[in-house]
């Protein structure tokens, strides 16, 4: 039994609240159960220097956690003077995943920065951030299209992410913190709406995992991502 009483292939309650704050071109509060992340997408008409002479745009991401988003307070990275390796790793993953579903030439010579700030953490912050960041990015791109600044849609379908893992000997979907902290294997999967993979990151925490376990985890991820994409579509249609 899972601590939350969920079935092995059951997601937590997923929600996306668009227009959560008022300044950003896209602003979404995404909740995967008790994990809550504010995702904003900012359009900047200036490109980073290393892209200036190219013919394309760029999408990048930054990630942070409020110091007391977690059970015990974490030192503020701004005050420590540097981002942790974990933060770096996560924000690189978010940016890479989002870019993989964007036609950067169609985006035009501009940069979109997706900021993902965790206000409450209960496991799966990076997959919530990718899924919510995608909705914020959709809103930012819609705004550019409404203004006529972009002609061709730069977004390839839809994109979402979920975590899967082996908890207490069996594969489960969308781990919360109590599961995540004792899982033997943890995998983050990013997929698009065609059912193809954008990113697969599996890590053995306790014991090396077998090929059949990997297969079971990927099947769970595919199911969960399908449901998350349905939720994204519903809120974007709203």
Report if residue 1 touches a second copy, rule: CB under 8 A.
Answer: no
Mapping DSSP onto H, E and C, the string for 26-46 reads: EEEEEEECCEEEEEEEEEECC
208 binds a second copy (CB under 8 A): yes
Nearest residue (CB) to a second copy, 80 versus 170 = 80
> Is 126 part of any known ligand binding site?
yes
Q: How far is the CB of 19 from a second copy (least distance, A)?
A: 11
Site mask for a second copy (CB under 8 A), range 42-71, x = bound: x-x-----------------x-x-xxxxxx
Q: Which of 59, 209, 221, 229 binds a second copy (CB under 8 A)?
A: 209
* 120 sits near a second copy (criterion: CB under 8 A): yes
d(CA 225, CA 158) in angstroms, rounded, equals: 10
Instruction: Tell me the site size for a second copy, rule CB under 8 A.
Output: 66
Sequence-distant (≥ 6) Cβ neighbours of residue 136 within 8 angstroms:
24, 26, 27, 28, 39, 40, 41, 114
Closest to a second copy by CB, 69 or 131: 69
Q: CB 139 → a second copy: shortest distance, Å? A: 13
Closest CA to 124 of 7, 35, 195, 238: 35
Task: By CB under 8 A, tell whether 204 contacts a second copy.
Answer: yes
Residue 55 is encoded by which pair of tokens?
A: 């013919």
Nearest by Cα to 160 from 88, 64, 231, 236: 231
- Take residue 215 and report the two structure tokens written for it: 């297969």
């Amino acid at each position: 039994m899972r601590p939350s009483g969920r079935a092995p292939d059951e997601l937590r309650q997923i929600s996306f609240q668009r227009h959560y704050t008022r300044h950003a071109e896209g602003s979404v509060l995404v909740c995967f159960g008790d994990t809550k992340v504010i995702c904003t997408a900012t359009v900047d008409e200036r490109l980073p220097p290393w892209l200036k002479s190219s013919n394309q745009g760029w999408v990048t991401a930054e990630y942070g956690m409020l110091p007391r988003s977690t059970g015990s307070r974490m030192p503020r990275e701004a005050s420590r003077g540097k981002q942790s390796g974990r933060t770096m790793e996560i924000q690189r993953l978010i940016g890479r995943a989002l870019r993989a579903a964007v036609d950067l030439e169609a985006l035009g010579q501009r940069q979109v920065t997706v900021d993902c700030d965790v206000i409450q953490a209960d496991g799966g912050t990076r997959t919530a951030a990718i899924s919510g960041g995608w909705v914020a990015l959709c809103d930012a791109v819609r705004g550019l299209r409404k203004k006529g600044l972009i002609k061709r849609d730069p977004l390839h379908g839809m994109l979402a992410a979920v975590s899967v893992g082996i908890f207490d000997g069996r594969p489960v979907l969308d781990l919360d913190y109590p599961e995540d902290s004792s899982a033997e294997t943890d995998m983050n999967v990013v997929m698009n709406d065609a059912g193809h993979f954008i990113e697969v990151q599996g890590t053995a925490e306790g014991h090396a995992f077998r090929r059949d376990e990997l297969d079971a985890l990927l099947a769970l991820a595919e199911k969960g991502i399908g449901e998350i994409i349905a939720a994204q579509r519903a809120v974007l249609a709203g």
